[in-house]
Amino acid sequence: MGFNAADYLITRNVEAGRGSTTAVRGSEELSYAELDQRVGEVAAAYRALGLRRDDRVLMVMSDDIPMLTAILGAFRAGVVAVPVSTMLTGGELGTILADSGARVIISTPEFDDAVATAITAAPEVEVAIRVGGPADPSATARALGWDEFLAAGAGGDTASAPTSDDSWALWLYTSGTTGTPKAAMHRHANIRHVCQTYGERVLGITEDDVCLSVAKMFFAYGIGNSVFFPFSVGATSVLVPQRPTPDGIADAVRTHQPTLFYGVPTFFAALLAADLPEDTFASVRMGTSAGEPLPAPLQQRFKERFGVDILDGIGSTEALHIFLSNQPGDIQPGTTGVAVPGYAVEIRDEAGNPVTAGTPGALFVRGESIALGYWRRTDASRQMFQGEWLSTGDTYVQTDDGYYQCLGRNSDMIKAGGIWVSPAEVESRLLAHPSVEQAAVVGIEDSEGLVKPVAAVTATGVTEQELIDWCRDGMAHFKAPRAIHFVDDLPKTATGKLQRFKVREQFAETPAPLTSSQPPAEVGESA
């Protein structure tokens, strides 16, 4: 069946008579008719570069009009949009760029250094496009400015590619449960499904809504909040390019008066810690939270302080958005609610059999938005995608009254600020320091009940802050430990394997430093 996500999200609104309605507010404001034209121009520009169906375009960009049109233009042209985290180092970005096989990379100036390093690791990249003018040319990629890129497509083919439900539209990289970056491959139809399920049947979003998301567009959660849901009904999206801070987001709320506010637990804690007026969120009819479980006390305090209900839910990059959620009028603090209409969930024991209420087990989900699999990751795909079902990697229990409660991960991966952190990766960085002999990284709750990475190390001649800075210098800042505990030795098995659970138990009574007043540079990988 013929279906193109750009037509569904943009052109359909123009044809329905909403061409003059404001679609997006960012560095400029565009109506649906203006956005439709811009998307066509980007699609023509991709074709002028010689891109063919299913070619990948990787984007390292701040949330603004160019990134939005780069994504939607890719949908229209039938090429694959690959927005990636702006928090990655050049080396980390280079690994993903090479893995994706992208022929084109598009960036904004803030990320010049990382992009320059990444391109050296990805010889398949033919063109590097930079908003604001071309970057210094590399040895392998042709450099173009954004305006020059668009000009090359002037007068070209702006029509929608004859894509189908099953055509590739969007690849989103996630570390998930394995700790190695891999691309979850999403179809055009997956975008429609999340709009018709969570967007319509949980949020009840309408064309009168104005949407503001803390999570950025390179996250599954963020792209749903800022692109899929508002455009599916002709509503308005507000894009904030800058790093989210409580004061910055509060200013955006006062300026744009959003009715739907999408956050993550870490940022809700930051908002409570900030000195904001109680009427800051007066325009907001509903808030949502995802990325990690929202502690009940945090949810209740936000409601008492700002008068806004928060719908806590869980989703994943592999499922594209939220599949378990509290519902308007049925909020159960401390739970992630019930299955979103259109999805089925099961809790299974180690043998793969469904368990009864009150029995913990592994959470599985089934729905039409599940990714096709991981790009070039056969073993991981077979492990996670089991027939129609997705293994989420979460341990859950269903209460006697039917609500689902998260008990944590069934692996050692840490979800800090809604973003997956691989302990092994952080440990490797710590062990690269000449003063460190042993290292173990675990997730420890802070006083707000939010999980943060904390390290136990054996080392001499180095301070805690020096090791934290060492980690931040060598990897994305959100991966760095929030605290370092110096120990004489680490617990191990008789064969010398690290007993990570004992490290976790040892520091469980010592809360991680409260960092909610200083949120990470970006927030919310998983929905």
Mean pLDDT, residues 208-228 taken together: 97
CATH fourth-level superfamily of 186-409: ANL, N-terminal domain (3.40.50.12780)
DSSP H or E run through 90: helix 90-100
Whether the pLDDT of residue 482 is over 50: the answer is yes
CATH number for the region 414-507 comes to: 3.30.300.30
* CA atoms of 66 and 78, how far apart (whole Å): 18
- In one-letter notation, the amino acid at residue 138 is S
pLDDT, tens digit (0-9, with 9 covering 90-100), for 302-323: 999 999 999 999 999 999 999 9
* CA atoms of 299 and 54, how far apart (whole Å): 42
Whether the pLDDT of residue 519 is over 50: the answer is no
Mean pLDDT of the chain: 92
Mean pLDDT, residues 170-194 taken together: 88
Domain with CATH 3.30.300.30 in the chain: 414-507
Whether the pLDDT of residue 524 is over 60: the answer is no
Handedness of CA 248, 174, 68, 236 (dihedral sign): negative
Other Cβ atoms closer than 10 A to 94 = 21
Give the pLDDT band (50/70/90) at residue 526: very low
* CA atoms of 318 and 316, how far apart (whole Å): 5
What are phi and psi for residue 462, nearest 5 degrees?
-145, 150
Name the fold adopted by 5-164. Answer: Rossmann fold (3.40.50)
Whether the pLDDT of residue 406 is over 90: the answer is no
* CA atoms of 184 and 174, how far apart (whole Å): 7
Domain with CATH 3.40.50.12780 in the chain: 5-164, 186-409
On whether the CB atoms of residues 211 and 233 are closer than 8 A, the answer is no
Which two three-digit tokens encode residue 223? 């792209």
Least confident window among 232-246, 310-324, 446-460: 446-460
* Nearest CA among 501, 476, 331, 320 for reference residue 412: 501
DSSP 3-state percent helix, strand, coil across the chain (nearest 5)? 35, 25, 40
Whether the pLDDT of residue 358 is over 90: the answer is yes
Q: 361 vs 35, which has greater pLDDT?
A: 35
On whether the CB atoms of residues 72 and 42 are closer than 8 A, the answer is yes
